[in-house]
Amino acid sequence: MSKQPLIVVRPYTPTDMAILEQTYDVYRLWEATDKVSFLRKFGPGVRALATDGEHGADAATMDLLPDLELVASFGVGLDAIDLSHARRRNIRVTHTPDVLTEDVADMAFGLLLACARRIPQCDSYVRQGRWLEGGPGLTTRVWGKRLGILGLGRVGRAVATRAEAFKLEIAYHDRCRFDDVHYRYFDDVAALALEVDFLVICASADTDTRGLIGSHVLDALGHDGMLINVARGAIVDEPVLLRYLREHLIAGAALDVFHNEPNIAREFGELDNVILQPHQSSATKETRASMGALVRDNLSAYFAGRPLLTEFLGPVR
């Protein structure tokens, strides 16, 4: 029995790739020097495309696959997939929510602690032998402070659970108020920023949130405020954030996501009041294994004619 063809946009883990290649006739798009020619040659007859949250699938790619019926993404974010075009072509889209929630929330809270207590900077201070000069100065308390969460979805709620253990006063902004939580709700993100010490971004990137964190929000966050982003770089106006960090108009930031990853703005590396991570929030062995398994389970379900496990059926923005 012949294998179903499957185009893979970017390599998954070696284990995931080995399993996919046992099951499908895999075409490795990332190895093609001319991707358009590659898709024109191998695209006809291909019903499924496996991608990830960073590379997604744009309209041009989908249109080079005339028989495409499924885009299976390794990641929860869907901003790199042209969902409107997929809907127009009746292409179904799956992603990997839930399995990465707790690890992303761990990273968010770890970054908050690292930013407030300046953990990486103090580590460097000791390594450089500067402790002999005296202490590195005072840092900022976390427990009992005020936390604002932008986006009270799966990750936002998991961050809030951790924050409760630190006795933080929690507030949030989302498209709507949720009746099942007791946290204070703000219908404007700048109004939220004005009332908190730490602002954690957990929202999805779409037309409503792109560039949402600009000067008006950072002004409200203020000189003592700190920004943590584990969502998408596109939500933040990066040139504005760099200026606010450079001029110490906010106290600091901790970022796991950026524009133009991995070719991020060099100035970030020159600033002492920002903590940088290479998009590592879900990068644990356990979570990545679960994400890979969920991609495979969605592919298996599709080709077997069973219901998809985690099909995206939400509104397209």
Structural domains in the chain, CATH included, are 5-95+285-304 (3.40.50.720), 100-276 (3.40.50.720)
pLDDT in tens, 187-215: 999 999 999 999 999 999 888 899 999 99
What global pTM score does this model have? 0.92
55 is catalytic: no
Confidence class for position 1, pLDDT limits 50, 70, 90:
low
- What is the spatial distance between Cα 42 and Cα 90, in angstroms, rounded to a whole number? 21
232 is catalytic: yes
CA angle 267/77/229 to nearest 5° reads 35
- Which one is catalytic: 173, 279, 288, 296? 279
- What is the spatial distance between Cα 240 and Cα 268, in angstroms, rounded to a whole number? 12
Is residue 159's pLDDT more than 80? yes
Average pLDDT value for residue range 110-127: 97
Question: Quick check: 96 and 270 in contact, CB under 8 A?
Answer: no
- Which one is catalytic: 261, 270, 286, 306? 261
261 is catalytic: yes
Average pLDDT value for residue range 221-249: 98
Confidence class for position 315, pLDDT limits 50, 70, 90:
confident
Question: Quick check: 108 and 228 in contact, CB under 8 A?
Answer: yes
Mean pLDDT of all residues belonging to the chain? 96
- Which one is catalytic: 232, 238, 288, 296? 232
User: Please, how many CA atoms are within 13 Å of residue 262, restricted to the half-sphere of its CB?
Assistant: 4
- What is the spatial distance between Cα 80 and Cα 203, in angstroms, rounded to a whole number? 15
Is residue 145's pLDDT more than 90? yes
Average pLDDT value for residue range 158-180: 97
pLDDT in tens, 31-42: 999 999 999 999
